[in-house]
Amino acid sequence: MRHSRNNDYLYDIIDKDGRPIKEDKPKRFSSMVITILVINIVVFIITLGGNLFTDVLGNYYGYTFGKFQLYRLVTCMFVHGGILHIACNSISFLQIAPFIEAKYGKQNFLFIYFVSGIGASIVSAVCNMLINNQTISIGASGAICGLLGFIFGKMKGNTKNKLISIASLVIPLMIVGISGGNVDNFAHFGGIITGYLIGRLFNRLGIDDKD
């Protein structure tokens, strides 16, 4: 079997009898990835007028737990604090999310993303409550870190290599957190841990990619 370029398809695959087998081009960005990205952008545009939506939708333990407004564990993922904030998160999201959705399907992708995001929000709220840090946490970075954690949890092979890979992610996040006072490292680490555990769960349940 051999391959040749074609304008309408990524490749013409030629079988042993010389007949072309058409293969569609793979989608660069899948539907759920685009949907989440669009929601983030729309919410950001709506919230440009002030901090009302941040106060209503952001994750602050005094409201999330104190007033039992648990919806904030999810809604905070769609709120961003500025153009640089949403730009960095969007670029990171687009680097990894299409890969996971293509590999594991829409439903599994949504499960990984939102459970990781909720896990990140819970860890953030609990840790900020313990140190009495009365800030409102917003942004998709906790869920995005969960996607990375999932990949590390799903990896099979040498444990040392896993730890090196995880350290290469965690250490830069720590450096950024130390240098920037507005970074919620609790959410980042909460997302990584949650995503990692989901990856291990998928291995235990035998949920593999679609390839």
Q: Which single residue is written with the structure tokens 């240098």? A: 179
* 45, amino acid identity: I
Q: What pLDDT is recorded for position 21?
A: 41
Which is catalytic among the residues 85, 90, 141, 165?
141
Q: What pLDDT is recorded for position 4?
A: 40
Lowest mean pLDDT among 18-22, 149-153, 169-173: 18-22
In the structure, what pLDDT confidence band is assigned to residue 131 with cuts at 50, 70 and 90? very high
Q: Is 31 one of the annotated active-site residues of the chain?
A: no
In the structure, what pLDDT confidence band is assigned to residue 30 with cuts at 50, 70 and 90? confident
DSSP class of residue 140 equals: S
Q: Is 188 one of the annotated active-site residues of the chain?
A: yes
Q: What pLDDT is recorded for position 71?
A: 94
Which is catalytic among the residues 80, 121, 124, 188?
188
Segment 50-83, tens digit of pLDDT: 666 788 888 998 889 989 999 999 999 999 988 8
Listed in sequence order, the DSSP H helices in 28-81 are 31-46, 52-57, 61-64, 72-75
Q: Which single residue is written with the structure tokens 């035998």? A: 206
Written as six digits, the tokens of 207 are: 């949920």
Q: Which residues, listed in sequence order, are joined to residue 21 by a DSSP beta bridge? A: 13
Q: Residues 140, 93: contact at Cβ < 8 Å?
A: yes
First CA to last CA across the chain, in angstroms?
Answer: 19
Summarize the confidence of residues 92-104 as an average pLDDT. Answer: 89
In the structure, what pLDDT confidence band is assigned to residue 3 with cuts at 50, 70 and 90? very low
Whole-model pTM: value is 0.78
Which residues contact residue 146 at a Cβ distance below 8 angstroms, ignoring those fewer than 6 apart? Answer: 112, 113, 115, 116, 117, 119, 120, 191, 192, 194, 195, 198
106-130 vs 185-205: helix axis angle to the nearest 10? 140
Q: Residues 81, 89: contact at Cβ < 8 Å?
A: no
Q: What share of the chain is helix, strand, coil (3-state, %, to 5)?
A: 65, 5, 30
